[in-house]
Structures are given as C-alpha cells and as structure tokens.
Amino acid sequence: MTARTDELLRAEDVSRHFPIRGPFGTRTGVLKAVDRVTLDIRRGETLALVGESGSGKTTLGRCLLQMEPVTSGRVRYEGVDLTALPPQRRRGYHRSMQVIYQDPFSSLNPHRTALQQVLEPLRVLTTDADPTGRALEALEQVGITGDAVHKYPRAFSGGQRQRIGIARAISVRPAFVMCDEPVSALDVSIQAQIVNLLTRLQGELGLTYLFISHDLSVVRHIATRVAVMYRGRLLELGDTEEVFADPRHPYTRSLLRAIPVADPRRARAAALRPSPGRPEFDWPEEPQPLVEVSPGHLVAT
C-alpha cells in the first residue's frame, strides 16, 4: 500500500501488544490488540473503522493519536513520524488531532460549565490571551447558545452533552478528529442529529474523521471508506458502497448479514434461517498482506 499525496495520516505496520499476567504477576502470554496494521487516512474523508467489540478498533485509534504507545510500526502525520518524536515535540501536534469520546456522560467534568469545558483545551493548546470568543463560537456551531453555556453537564441531555464534547474537539481548529463510537450511547433519534452535525461540521471546517463504530447502518450513511478489523488485524478496506455491495472477506460478509432489517417480512425470514455463527475461514498465524481486488478495494488473502 503506497503513500498517496492526499493522505493526512498513515499507519505503517502498527502493532500494539499487551502482556497477559498469570498468578503472582507472572507473564503467561501476549494479547495482540493491534497486529501489524497498515492504512492511510486521506484529507477531508471519513474513514470508518468497523468490527465487533474487542477487535482492536479503539486501540488502533488511540495509537494513531499517540494516546497509546505502539509496540512496533510507525504513525505518520503529514509525513512526520510521530512515533519517533520525543513527547515534548509530539505535543505540538495535539492541537491538530482531537477526539470525540463514546460516553457523553463520563467525558465531561461534572464540576465545570459547558463554556469551561471548551475553554480548557483552548487555554492549554493555543496562545490566545482570552479564548472565550472562540469557545462561544464553537458552542454556537453545535447548537449550545445563550444561558445554556453557563450550565453544568447535569442540566443537559445525552445528545446535548455530546454536542459539548464535539465543541471541545473543534474549538482548537483541528484537521483530524477521531470519533470513538460517538453515537452508540445515544437514542436512535438523537444519533441521526449528531451524525448530521458531524457531516455539516466536516463540510464547514474541512475536517478529516476516523469514525470508529460497530453500527454499520450509521457507517454507511457517514463514511467515505470502510476498514474492517477482526482480532487486531485489518481484513478489508475500500469505498463504502463497494464494500457494502461486494464484500470480499468472509468476516465482512458476516458483519453485513448482522445488520438489522427494517422490513418485517425480511426480518422474519432471516430469523427462521440458521444463524451463521462465526465466519468460516482459516486464521493464519501471521497477518496476511492486503491484495487489491479492484481499484481501491483491498482484502486480506
């Protein structure tokens, strides 16, 4: 997978391993949460990272943002190898790379108002003498205005809290935002509002998203490309519509079969069919290279 001129962020053979401890702290093995993953994220796109719980999606995202140290491999941002930089130099990239967390209830400080939540990263990551104006602008962009900016998180609904989290992320004017399951903790009707908000902000601010999710119906609506992970490895990568229309890997096909069906007759028919269970494919000892089966559509052999 060669580098592209329009790529913003690139993972090259990235791995993240955790030791497995037995009794008395003895090391009994290694958990390969991310296992030699290579992929690129292009400027202005939304790359969705999908897979079941425990597949390594969030760990890979944290490695890309250097919130988690890599065991091996490199992460390049605008051509700069972040993994080779000392922490004090890496800090300069924090403003350009932000994150929206999954749980809007625990990601906010309960003792700070909406305005104070957004002011915090501005004071840490910018040199503005008084960043209040920028904080209010970010809150207005997500629909938190008037006296609401002086309220505490307990006064807001889950969707409104997530809007504050989004305002906090965009306030420092980043280029790249990792959205870590940003709608999974919200009601379905609120999910649509947040997804539409993210889409609008992307157009207005020129943002690039890594959208981590297990909800493929949401992914199909927002993503430009889809990367499928299983057991820490990347199995398929391609344009969203092509992956949904022509999934090549058995695991991708099993994920797509699990999407809920709105038509009651189709849902009833699906319920009567035997469950596909775990996907049937051999699991090699080492990660397999991605092979291009059609332009831009890559599958692990």
Give all domains of the chain, ordered by start, each with its CATH number.
1-88+177-187+209-275+287-301 (3.40.50.300)
User: Which of 111-125, 129-143, 258-272 shows the lowest per-residue confidence on average (mean pLDDT)?
Assistant: 258-272
CB 207 within 8 A of CB 170: yes
Q: Would you place residue 92 in the very low, low, confident or very high pLDDT band (cuts 50, 70, 90)?
A: confident
Rounded CA separation 151/283 (Å): 52
CB 42 within 8 A of CB 8: yes
Q: Would you place residue 259 in the very low, low, confident or very high pLDDT band (cuts 50, 70, 90)?
A: confident
pLDDT exceeds 90 at position 204: yes
Mean of pLDDT values over 203-207: 97
**pLDDT, position 27:** 86
pLDDT exceeds 70 at position 276: no
SS3 62: helix
User: Which of 6-10, 137-141, 196-200, 277-281 shows the lowest per-residue confidence on average (mean pLDDT)?
Assistant: 277-281
CB 272 within 8 A of CB 262: no
Nearest-5° Cα angle at 39, 213 to 167:
45
SS3 301: coil
Closest CA to 215 of 238, 193, 185: 185
**pLDDT, position 68:** 94
Give the CA dihedral 245, 251, 257, 260, nearest 10 degrees.
-100
Q: For the chain, where are the E strands, in sequence order? A: 7-21, 27-42, 46-50, 72-77, 80-81, 97-100, 176-180, 208-213, 225-230, 233-239, 290-294, 297-300
pTM of the model: 0.90
